[in-house]
Amino acid sequence: MSDIHRLWLLLLFALVGWLTYLLSPILMPFVASALLAYLGDPLVDRLERHRLKRTPAVAVVFTVLFLVLMLLLL
């Protein structure tokens, strides 16, 4: 790879990092919700296998996650 390509790649990474830093207050809720969905989906699927419909299963998982978070913060 030539030096000019490395320079462009470095500039591209710097630009992406700078934009991520600037947009972090806007992006944080999306990242948090994606993490919750990623962590909660297997639990909801397991509750569905035990004959609980998806909506009540999601309510149970969110309630448990909320209670665990509150216990950790207190």
Instruction: Report pLDDT digits (tens) over 54-74.
Output: 999 999 999 998 999 899 998
- Predicted confidence band of residue 1 (pLDDT cuts 50, 70, 90): confident
pTM for this entry = 0.64
Residue-range domain boundaries for the chain: 3-73
Q: What is the pLDDT of residue 29?
A: 95
Q: What is the dihedral of CA 33, 35, 38, 40, to 10 degrees?
A: -70
- Integer-rounded Cα Rg, in Å, for the chain is 20
Q: Which of 45, 41, 63 is nearest to 53 (CA)?
A: 45
